[in-house]
Structure 1
């Protein structure tokens, strides 16, 4: 039986991950601020991961085979985690993001070597404690957090660079609902002059991927994305199709989305001025089998919008 610690994980694919670990027979300890109880069967520790003393007190003498950190957004948080878990964990899995590639504009899907965390400068003096700053520098925060875990002396870590996640009736982001409302009303969708595609992953698939990664031995960055890039136009077509299939298109009769070029600071979700395609070849070679985005997209739309399948 593995001892696994999950930091955060109270919603969306985090809670699915915990369920999978428990079903596999792992002993799971969940650390969060107490805002939500973990699934039945998990040990619950209440601590603020930004407060090093709080985290140390909550953990006590516990040690783990693997830590899965779902809520590490800044280098300061990574530094605290590295100090606290050094010597008490065999392997550390950080949930990172495709946003670490925000400066790597390529027509081809990017591989992990496009951003080497060992070369990323770390500046813990930036105002990472300010939520507005942190949100505005999401990709940079994740990049620098990865750099902390990658620094010498070596700390055995994995940075799972997650594609944009879709699906689930509990999708709290409201991104697909954004398009459903505009298709119903005929309100235009704000896009850049040239809209670039991206890679995506289903909420159940990323939970599968993280559960798989817990049981593996590899380290370093790894991309997690379903096969195939997807443009916003195709995503909106799927939303429109889901509304029609559910008989709930607001009288639009299968009306298509209307696109209009908008300002850079007012673009719709998944409207990108640069490509966010990721190469999932490393994970595939390591043994994970991804699905194809276009195969699960219609289901993801209907389950998220609550329309009949």
Structure 2
């Protein structure tokens, strides 16, 4: 297949690229040109926020599948729908568990809890403001999904990715946040009622996205390993790796540590498993994932 990946030159995106190349696909990577691309790929340079730039870079190219790793706003989705509509047979958007940011249920959340066809889109919000976008990450993804659902220009799926762990190139700093405090015995802020959440190993989400690119299902799909993880379970593994002592401190107000959640919104992955994907259990990869990240420090 002829596949275009928008963004995807770092973390699980580069793993996805490697998998697709190894499977014999032709892969083009589109970015702003600030970084190179892996050997064997076609490099296209464009600002995906600039419709004319995107049109010019793509020219008369067409694709079997587009995997969009960096669609964060409804404005970006509108441009993608218009430009890519005539150019691809399938579109895979990397979405997020954070589309469920308004959910709070003890029952794992299924895809229908957020139906993008019912989500209101507001293109006039300050989506180009980095601070606003960071504070409205989940809402941006919800509205981006809604654009594709309201006016489908191609068969599409939105992969709602759980929190990702693993890899020496984990750039988020979240695991290191815990390691530093555990090593020093400093308190780790958690909510008074701290809910577990769903996670996925970096290699597993790359595998899932490659599988989704080759499949033909449509609509939202949750992607996460079996077995939610609590803050305490993650900290226990980190403590074993770095030494020190885990001190969890409950707080009623204020900022909590990255893998602490005052609400319950663990996802349900039964749609993906029913479609044929086999997830691993989080306990199978947690030690390896944290060792990869901490070993790089």
- How high is the TM-score relative to the length of structure 1? 0.94
The CA deviation at 1:276 is: 3.0
Per-residue CA deviation, residues 107-158 of structure 1 (Å, 9 max, x unaligned), is: 1111101000000000010000000000000000000000001113553110
The 1:78/1:189 distance shift into structure 2, 3 A limit, reads same
Where do residues 194-233 of structure 1 align in structure 2 (5 Å cutoff)? 194-233=193-232
* CA-atom RMSD in angstroms: 1.3
Deviates more, 1:114-123 or 1:270-279: 270-279
- How high is the TM-score relative to the length of structure 2? 0.98
Secondary structure, in 3 states, of the residue corresponding to 1:90?
Answer: coil
1:82 aligns with 81
The CA deviation at 1:264 is: 4.5
The CA deviation at 1:307 is: 7.6
The 1:221/1:136 distance shift into structure 2, 3 A limit, reads same
Output the CA distance in 1 between the equivalents of 2:63 and 2:199. Answer: 31
Per-residue CA deviation, residues 177-209 of structure 1 (Å, 9 max, x unaligned), is: 111100111110011111111000000000000
1:104 aligns with 103
The 1:91/1:307 distance shift into structure 2, 3 A limit, reads closer
Where do residues 138-149 of structure 1 align in structure 2 (5 Å cutoff)? 138-149=137-148
Return 5+ residue gaps in structure 1 as ranges. Answer: 244-248
Contact 1:242–1:307 (CA under 8 A) maintained in structure 2:
no
The CA deviation at 1:261 is: 2.5
Deviates more, 1:102-111 or 1:11-20: 102-111
Output the CA distance in 1 between the equivalents of 2:90 and 2:152. Answer: 14
Output the CA distance in 2 between the equivalents of 1:131 and 1:186. Answer: 34
Per-residue CA deviation, residues 63-89 of structure 1 (Å, 9 max, x unaligned), is: 000000000000000000000001110
1:175 aligns with 174
2:65 aligns with 66
Output the CA distance in 2 between the equivalents of 1:126 and 1:225. Answer: 31
- Asked if 1:305 corresponds to 2:291, the answer is no
Output the CA distance in 1 between the equivalents of 2:10 and 2:152. Answer: 33
Output the CA distance in 2 between the equivalents of 1:184 and 1:192. Answer: 21
Return 5+ residue gaps in structure 2 as ranges. Answer: none
The CA deviation at 1:225 is: 0.2
